[in-house]
Structure 1
Amino acid sequence: MDVAAPRSGFEAVIRLSKKFVRFARGVDTLSVAEKVYSIAGSLAIVTTFLLVMSIQSVRLQTTYRHMHATSAEAAIGVGRINALIYAIVMESRGIYMSADRGATKQFADGLLRRNSELADTVKSMERTVADDDAQLFSTFRQRIAQFIEFRQELVRRGLEVSPAAAREWGNNDANRTLRNKLNVDLETLERIYRQRAQEADELADTNRYAAAYLFMLGLVALFLAGLNVVVMRSSVVGALAEITQATDRIADGDVKSEVPHLRRHDEIGRLARAVQHFRDAVARIFELEELELGTAQARDAAMTERDKFNDKYQAKKWQLSAAINSMPQGLIMLDGKAAVVAMNANYRRIYNLPETIQAGATLEEILQHRVKSGLFSGDVTKYVAAVLERIAKREPTAYEISLNDGRTIKIYERPMDGGGWVSVQEDVTEQRQRERILERMERFLATIIENVTEGIIAKDARNLRYVFVNKAAEKMIGMSRGEIIGKTARELFSAEAAELIERRDMQLLAQKQQLEPIVDTIDNPARGRRVISARRVQIGGAGEDSHMFVTMIEDRTENMMAAA
């Protein structure tokens, strides 16, 4: 199948290519759909190229504008920084040449203002920094910060000490070295932004070529759209108009009218042949009118059959309703939107539903009634949402709920074919009460058996392995129940003692019960020779899983020794 599918697709392409060749030679072998789809496909391809070129043109234009704007902004910033540095240097010289503190204060204020403008200008230039000049700009920004700090210190010395102290601080090699490095950085940044402006110009040239390509693709798309209009008009619209006129003549009773375009091999030809079949059908109308009486009788028979079917449907519906209502459990069916499809009487009885809630009601209405009657105290919206989620997952589930009146309801939910949900609900209050009573009784009996003075041992009658020992039996045997349970007498006692125990088991199996005590002397591997009195009871019978031997043991060793 993996090879046949590509081969069939390749053959289809070959056949379509041959059709196009014959069409180019003047033979109209293409269907209307093939013509329209071919033109539409070509138009889609051209439109795709047009879209790609448009996106590329927009991208180039956006990049050009960004590069042009950033390079221009950066160039302006470099020029402004250069001018501010020169102005700061001039203000510094004014401080050097001041004769008194008042003159120094005037130049100092101007210098500090220029410092602030220089810091703001450098900060605004950070928006224009690209990856290729980030490191250079970082170094340049540090040098500007040093330059500003140096000039602020110069102002402080000029105001607080003297202009001579300011001149001594500013007129040194460190200051000149910093100025030289700043000049080098500015020249480098100018070269970078000049290169970026050239790249923006190159992008502008590329964008002009993209615009030319868009214009050519637009002309091709316009040509294909026009070709599609011509093909539709010549091959479809005109032919359909002629066939429509022929159809109108046939509808007026002219059944001998000729239908055009019968020899075409495309969809128009098939439509023309269909109209011809319609004309032939109209010609047979008169024959059908003669059979009207027979048709009426057939219609009456069909209506009678429909009535019979309706009666059967109603009977089946009544039987289904009777079967649902005869169930001992409550039943409710929901559709995919949690609307009630059906419910039986037992479901109504469980939740005391009124007769106003029928099939067609919603689960939310039922829950609202349960809230009013005190049988539900949860969030109705969340409960309905949870039910809808279970319906959507279509996973069967079973759980129990406790009503506010003390009843326990067991709920089984299953998905229905075709969507929806069916829920079978059963009142298990009495069953759970009996289980609790049985559980308490089991705990009561276990407590008594565990604390009686007699040793009680139970073993499986089928394999003679111990299945239970109480505390008293553990003490008498001298082993823990973990060492005893699951083992036979031969695995715990000597061969002589094990043989005696097995012989007593066989006697019990033959006698059914052994209520009279039997006194035996047994070698206990943990406590030595012991004198025991044992009574045995057989529970169940052969072939039953509950077939067990229960032995009640009393250790009389101490009493025998005391009597001796």
Structure 2
Amino acid sequence: MDAAALGSGLNAGTKLFKKFVQFARGADTLSVAEKVYSIAGFLAIVTTFLLVMSVQTVRLQTTYRHMHATSAEAAINVGRINALIYAIVMESRGIYMSGDRGAMKQFADGLVRRNRELAEAVKGMERTVGDDDAEQIATFRRRIAQFIDFRQELVRRGLEISPAAAREWGDNDANRTLRSKLNSDLETLERIYRQRASNADELANENRYAAAYLFMLGLVALVLAGLNVVVMRSSVVGALAEITQATDRIADGDVKSQVPHLGRHDEIGHLARAVQHFRDAVARIFELEELELGTAQARDAARTERDNFNDKYQAKKWQLSAAINSMPQGLVMLDGKANVVAMNANYRRMYNLPETIQAGSTTLEEILQHRVKSGLFNGDVAKYVAAVLDRIARREPAANEVALNDGRTIKIYERPMDGGGWVSVHEDVTEQRQRERILERMERFLATIIENVTEGIIAKDARNHRYVFVNKAAEQMIGMSRGEIIGKTARELFSAEAAELIERRDQQLLTQKQQLEPIIDTIDNPTRGRRVISARRVQVGGAGEESHMFVTMVEDRTEKMVAAA
């Protein structure tokens, strides 16, 4: 049975091959399906190769991008680490050369910060570790850890012992040996990353060859697709067009017209003979009456659909009109040529537009001309309209404020609409701007008074007890700038005894609500020593509110007490 099936398959293949040979010699021996399937088969083969090459190209491109990105990032990290090591060494020399601990402190702080940045930079190198640099990175990481610990100890010795002790710790052979090894590690890593970049370039060259193969396969696919178009047009599309024309003539009542391609032996021939049978059937029935009846029914259905559509359109139009007229702002819609499509009643009232200006028959230029006459527009109408048309063309949203001659301030928001139109919303913000100006003037007035009173005024957030405001008098009393005070708590600024006293007074204020009678306290000032102060306290806001604050009015009575004694 297998032998019989194999023989049958060979016979079918032989017959198909003979058909192709005859077709190549000019004989129309292939059916439309055989032509199309043959071209589709070759196109599928080429597409398969194209897909395989595409996958290969994507794989090469992905590998290249990864190698190129990791090598570039790794090279940047190496450069950054080298710069940080150099900066740390410079900070160390600053510690050596400092004459006192105050000058040494800034170099020590810089060295500690650079140590943290160096540790983070080395940690960042883990993203680019590969098989080629894993061992070297591990060694380098250990040496960096030694380098950081070494410099931390140097800072400790400099701050807690002396600059000489720091210099003794840092200026030795062990330090220089570690630096030398780190330089050697960095040079080795640079060579590794240069080799990685070179490998990425080789992959790029391979990708170019793959792209060339893709181009050739795409060209072959394009030729096959063109061949398919030619075959379909000559063998199928043209014949179908002629048969379609014959069918149209028959539908128009010409039952005597000839049907082309009756002599073909493929699918087109079968279709032509089917059309001929249709023509014969049309000649034997009274299609005209049925066609007239069907046409009348279709006409009635079209009218019904048109009426339904008109009802829906009117309903939507009424809903849109009600919606825009209920808006508290003025609204105007324009088409792409700045013709007014719609406007609401608030827009008409805002600019006192007459009844002669109506949506659908008015342009933006006409509205502006009316505003010029009524004194509500001072600009160049032509330039303004040109600017609006330019924004409509570029579909660029805009927002601006204009001041009218009658004292009103109008906020205008412009946005593009689907289909090329434009919508502009106008809001009267006159009262809002007046309130803002009054509030701003009052804030400046209060700030000036508070800043220039002789009594110290201190405000802190009641939720976290951090200072949020001090005036000039309070800065002088405490002996610190407001930059040193604001954002900190009493425990961060004063001694433990003074901080406990301040916190106790805060708790009393929470209980009593207000402390308008002055309370005399003796407190240790971190910069001015022991001071006698008189303080009155009030609360602003209440518990749970964001504006809840404690405000203290302080008077330094130390000099008065000394004079009285």
Name the TM-score class by shorter chain. 0.5 to 0.7
Paired letter, 1:323: A
User: Per the alignment, do residues 271 and 408 of structure 1 end up closer, same or farther by CA in structure 2, a change over 3 Å counting?
Assistant: farther
1:233-272 to structure 2, matched below 5 A, reads 251=252, 254=255, 258-264=258-264
Asked if residue 344 in structure 1 is aligned to residue 339 in structure 2, the reply is no
1:358 partner SS: coil
Indicate whether 1:507 and 2:499 are aligned.
no
TM-superposed CA distance for 1:327, in Å, is 0.2
Evaluate the alpha carbon distance shift between residue 253 and residue 295 of structure 1 in structure 2; reply closer, same or farther with a 3 A threshold: closer
* Matching of residues 319-358 of structure 1 within 5 Å: 319-358=319-358
The residue that corresponds to 2:168 in the other structure is: none
Confirm or deny that 1:420 pairs with 2:421. yes
Residues 280/415 of structure 1: CA separation in 2 closer, same or farther (3 Å cut): farther
Instruction: Report what 1:456 is aligned to.
Output: 457
Larger radius of gyration: 1
**Within 2, Cα distance between the matches of 1:509 and 1:297?**
87
> 2 CA distance for matches of 1:509 and 1:264?
105
CA contact under 8 A between 1:522 and 1:530: conserved in structure 2?
Answer: yes
1:201 is aligned to none
What does residue 404 of structure 2 align with?
403
The percent of aligned pairs where both chains have the same amino acid is 82
Q: Is the 8 A contact 2:31 2:267 kept in 1?
A: no
Q: 1:272 to 1:366 in 2, by over 3 A?
A: farther
Contact 1:456-1:553 at 8 Å conserved across structures? yes
Secondary structure at 2:518 match in 1:
strand
Check the 8 A contact 1:338/1:388 in 2, yes or no.
yes
Distance of 2:520 and 2:474 partners within structure 1: 16
SS at match of 1:376: coil
Letter in 1 for 2:438: I
* Contact 2:250/2:279, CA 8 A, preserved across alignment: no
C-alpha displacement at 1:274, in angstroms? Answer: 10
- Give the structure 1 partner of residue 538 of structure 2: 537
Q: Residues of 1 paired with 2:274 and 2:363: CA distance?
A: 51
Q: Normalising by the residue count of structure 2, what TM-score does the alignment of the two structures yield?
A: 0.53
Give 1:509 shift.
Answer: 2.2
C-alpha distance in 2, partners of 1:409/1:265?
80
Cα 1:275–1:413 shift into 2, 3 Å = farther
Once the two structures are superposed, residues 77-126 of structure 1 have per-residue CA deviations (whole angstroms, 9 ceiling, x without a partner) of xxxxxxxxxxxxxxxxxxxxxxxxxxxxxxxxxxxxxxxxxxxxxxxxxx
Letter in 1 for 2:320: L
Distance 1:481 1:240, change over 3 A: closer
SS at match of 1:399: strand
Report the counterpart of residue 553 of structure 1 in structure 2: 554
Counterpart-to-counterpart distance in 2, 1:493 and 1:559: 23
- Whichever residue aligns with residue 467 of structure 1, its letter is V
Say whether the 8 Å CA contact 2:535–2:553 is kept in structure 1: yes
Q: Could you tell me which residue of structure 2 aligns to residue 521 of structure 1?
A: 522
State the Cα distance separating 1:418 from its structure 2 match: 2.5
> Is residue 375–residue 403 contact of structure 1 (8 Å, CA) maintained in 2?
yes
Question: What amino acid is the match of 1:398?
Answer: A
Q: Counterparts of 1:81-100 in structure 2 under 5 Å? A: none
Q: What TM-score results when the alignment is normalised by the length of structure 1? A: 0.53
Report the Cα distance in structure 1 between the residues aligned to 2:465 and 2:400, rounded to whole angstroms: 41
Aligned to 1:116: none
Paired residues for 1:2-151 under 5 Å:
22=23, 24-27=25-28
| Higher deviation after alignment, 299-308 or 369-378 | 299-308
Query: What is the aligned-residue RMSD (CA, Å)?
Result: 4.0
Residues in 2 aligned to 1:27 and 1:537: alpha-carbon distance in whole angstroms: 107
How far does residue 367 in structure 1 lie from its aligned partner after superposition?
2.0
Instruction: Give the deviation of 1:456 after TM superposition.
Output: 0.8
Corresponding residue number in structure 2 for 1:472: 473
C-alpha change, 1:246 and 1:454, in structure 2 (3 Å) is closer
CA distance in 2, matches of 1:461, 1:502: 11
Secondary structure at 1:449 match in 2: helix
Residues 1:279 and 1:362: Cα distance change in structure 2 (over 3 Å): farther
Query: Partner letter of residue 325 of structure 2?
Result: N
One-letter amino acid matched to 1:259? V
Superposition deviation, residue 428 in structure 1? 0.5
Q: Distance in 2 between matches of 1:516 and 1:436?
A: 36
Q: Distance in 2 between matches of 1:368 and 1:29?
A: 76
Shift of residue 411, structure 1, vs aligned partner: 1.4
Letter in 1 for 2:491: R
- Number of aligned residue pairs: give it: 346
> 1:320 is matched by which residue type in structure 2?
L
Q: Are residue 486 (structure 1) and residue 487 (structure 2) matched?
A: yes
Unaligned runs of 5+ in 2: 1-15, 36-236
CA distance in 1, matches of 2:416, 2:407: 29
Match for 1:459: what amino acid?
K
Deviations 1:249-280 (A, max 9, x none): 8856546x542333459999799689759847
CA–CA distance in structure 2, aligned partners of residues 304 and 376 of structure 1: 50
Q: CA deviation at 1:321?
A: 0.2
Give the CA deviation at 1:500.
0.4
Q: Residues 426-449 of structure 1: CA distance to partner in whole angstroms, max 9, x if unpaired?
A: 011111011001100111111111
Change (3 A) 1:407 1:275: farther
Whole-Å Cα distance in 2 between the matches of residues 270 and 385 of structure 1?
65
CA distance in 1, matches of 2:557, 2:511: 26
Secondary structure of the residue aligned to 2:350 is helix
8 Å CA contact retained: 2:351, 2:376: yes
Which secondary structure does the structure 2 equivalent of 1:262 belong to?
coil
Q: Tell me, what secondary structure is at the counterpart of 1:515?
A: strand
User: Take 2:252 and 2:366, find their aligned partners in 1: how far apart are those partners?
Assistant: 57
Q: Counterpart of 2:511 in 1: which secondary structure? A: helix
Q: Quick one: distance in 1 between partners of 2:552 and 2:454?
A: 13
Q: Distance in 2 between matches of 1:281 and 1:537?
A: 106
Measured after TM superposition, the shift of residue 21 of structure 1 is 7.3
d(CA) in 2 for partners of 1:299, 1:243 = 25
Q: 1:241 to 1:347 in 2, by over 3 A?
A: closer
> Structure 1's 541 and 359: CA in aligned 2 closer, same or farther, altered over 3 A?
same
Q: Deviations over 1:471-528 (max 9, x none)?
A: 2212222222122112211222222111101111122223332222221111112222
Find the aligned partners of 1:240 and 1:461 in 2 and give their Cα distance.
88
